């Protein structure tokens, strides 16, 4: 019999147990053609109405998670830098009132680097934000135009400087493996990125997601994605170059100086609890998956009707949780301790040891004491590896 996680004492709320908070702001100036996130373009946004709705949704989650220790807050989107700093401050203040915070609580806000938003960075820092994740995506104007970005390369660099002046911890995103990319072009971009003085980089290979404008363009043969062999070579170069520069990959697409990893995202990858509020936000609390209404108007109506934006709450069966934990954990360079993770989730075993042994022999997985992790070659085949070793 498969038990729900809620039946396991290890997953009951415990005083002081770590908790992360995710807050989703769904609005953007425009919809990027590669984006499949829950983002929406609206002519106007009532900041007061949204502040009250987010605070109500947060209060609902806080009532269900008493006594936890808040380790991180992450404002994602959408474009959270379009939020009124007063709204950001109100959410942070409420979260601090509901939960005691870790001394080094990490409060991240995602930002786009157009001039109007960059000017807000000092106000956002005053509101309590101590880490900014900046969506630069490229240093090249033609690439930015292809990606549908609303800023120029110069604006991006000015925004990065403003972010570094406002907060101590800054990360920025770049997208590579665009059509026409090669090792020489990407090497120049990566060298420039590594010279800009941030402690963290998120480096994403362009993927064509179903339902996006890029997917339609590819279907119409308006452009061809970069071939898989070249994309793999760029990934391998990225791993080697960032490691040499002292920002090794701690997760497939995320690179940081030791100690500068995103604590919030590590909660996801370590399969910890996090509360999710705002339109489309997902959460995981005490063995339960939570999902909010995606469409902003539906979310507001649900909050007005019910006092929260939930559209789904479901206890995870232990085998489903085991599969999720395996997928998340093997994205990390540190890998997982299969026995410890299986015990925490409440399953007999997490992986097929014979399959693991076979892939160790092929050089795709390595053992590190009780832990297993994918090798550099294995990371290129992660989906296949997960399908093969899952118990």
**pLDDT tens digits along 190-217:** 999 999 999 999 999 999 999 999 999 9
Strands 310-315 and 288-292: antiparallel
**pLDDT tens digits along 287-302:** 999 999 999 999 999 9
What string of DSSP letters covers 211-254? TSHHHHHHHTTS--PPPHHHHHHHHHHHHHHHHHTT--EEETTE
Phi, psi of 249 (to 5 degrees): -75, 115
Pick from 330, 40, 387, 37: nearest CA to 209: 37
Phi, psi of 300 (to 5 degrees): -60, -40
Dig out the tokens for 60 from the structure: 């609902």
Dig out the tokens for 325 from the structure: 């934990």
Please provide the average confidence, as pLDDT, over all residues in the chain. 93
Percent of the chain with pLDDT over 70: 96
- 166/66 Cα distance (integer angstroms): 33
Phi, psi of 341 (to 5 degrees): -70, -40
81 in Cβ contact with 110 (< 8 Å): yes
13 pLDDT higher than 50: no
**pLDDT tens digits along 359-373:** 999 999 999 999 999
CB atoms within 10 A of CB 183: 12
**pLDDT tens digits along 42-52:** 989 999 999 99
3 pLDDT higher than 50: no
Band the pLDDT of 11: cuts 50, 70, 90: very low
118 in Cβ contact with 163 (< 8 Å): yes
**Region 170-181 average pLDDT:** 97
Q: Which residues contact 48 (CB under 8 A, 6 or more apart)?
A: none
Q: Cα torsion at 57, 58, 60, 64 (round to 10°)?
A: 150
- Predicted TM-score of the model (pTM): 0.93
**pLDDT tens digits along 257-272:** 999 999 999 999 999 9
pLDDT of res. 31 = 87
111 in Cβ contact with 134 (< 8 Å): yes
**pLDDT tens digits along 226-242:** 999 999 999 999 999 99
Q: Which residues contact 354 (CB under 8 A, 6 or more apart)?
A: none
219 pLDDT higher than 80: yes
Dig out the tokens for 388 from the structure: 């093969």
Helices then strands, counting H and E runs in the chain, come out as 16, 14
pLDDT of res. 114 = 85
State how far the alpha carbon of 225 is from the alpha carbons of 35, 322, 372, in Å: 15, 34, 33
Q: Which residues contact 293 (CB under 8 A, 6 or more apart)?
A: 279, 280, 299, 301, 302, 309, 310, 311
120 in Cβ contact with 148 (< 8 Å): no
305 in Cβ contact with 297 (< 8 Å): no
- 314/307 Cα distance (integer angstroms): 19
Percent of the chain with pLDDT over 90: 88
**Region 314-324 average pLDDT:** 92
5 pLDDT higher than 60: no
Domain annotation for the chain: domains and CATH numbers: 5-269 (3.20.20.70), 318-389 (1.10.10.920)
What strand order describes the sheet that includes 18-25?
249-251, 254-256, 200-205, 169-176, 131-137, 101-111, 69-77, 18-25, 274-277, 282-285, 288-292, 310-315
């Amino acid at each position: 019999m498969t038990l729900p996680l809620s039946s396991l004492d290890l997953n009951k709320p415990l005083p002081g147990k770590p908790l992360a908070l995710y807050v989703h702001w769904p609005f953007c100036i425009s919809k990027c053609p590669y984006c499949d996130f829950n983002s929406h373009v609206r002519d106007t946004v009532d900041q007061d109405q949204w502040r009250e709705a987010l605070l109500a949704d947060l209060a609902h989650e806080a009532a269900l998670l008493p006594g936890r220790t808040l380790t991180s807050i992450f404002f994602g989107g959408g474009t959270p830098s379009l939020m009124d700093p007063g709204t950001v401050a109100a959410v942070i203040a409420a979260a601090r009132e509901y939960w005691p915070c870790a001394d080094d609580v990490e409060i991240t806000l995602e930002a786009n680097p157009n001039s109007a938003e960059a000017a807000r960075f000092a106000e956002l820092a005053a509101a309590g934000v101590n880490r900014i994740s900046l969506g630069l995506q490229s240093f090249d104007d033609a690439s930015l135009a292809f990606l549908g970005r609303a800023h120029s390369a110069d604006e991006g660099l000015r925004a990065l400087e403003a972010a570094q002046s406002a907060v101590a911890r800054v990360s920025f995103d770049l997208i590579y493996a665009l059509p026409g990319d090669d090792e020489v072009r990407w090497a120049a971009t990566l060298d420039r990125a590594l010279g800009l003085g941030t402690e963290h980089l998120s480096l994403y290979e362009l993927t064509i997601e179903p339902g996006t404008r890029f997917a339609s363009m590819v279907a119409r043969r308006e452009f061809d994605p970069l071939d898989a062999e070249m994309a793999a070579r760029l990934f391998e170069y990225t791993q080697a170059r960032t490691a040499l520069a002292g920002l090794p990959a701690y997760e497939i697409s995320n690179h940081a100086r030791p100690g500068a990893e995103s604590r919030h995202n590590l909660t996801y990858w370590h399969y910890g609890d996090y509360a999710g509020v705002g339109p489309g936000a997902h959460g995981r609390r005490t063995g339960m998956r939570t999902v909010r209404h995606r469409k902003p108007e539906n979310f507001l109506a649900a909050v007005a009707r019910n006092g929260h934006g939930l559209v789904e709450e479901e206890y995870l069966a232990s085998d489903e949780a085991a599969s999720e934990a395996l997928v998340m954990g093997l994205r990390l360079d540190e890998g997982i301790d299969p026995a410890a993770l299986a015990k925490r989730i409440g399953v007999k075993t997490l992986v097929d040891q014979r399959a693991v042994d076979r892939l160790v022999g092929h050089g795709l997985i390595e053992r590190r004491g009780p832990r297993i992790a994918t090798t550099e070659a294995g990371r290129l085949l992660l989906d296949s590896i997960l399908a093969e070793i899952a118990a």
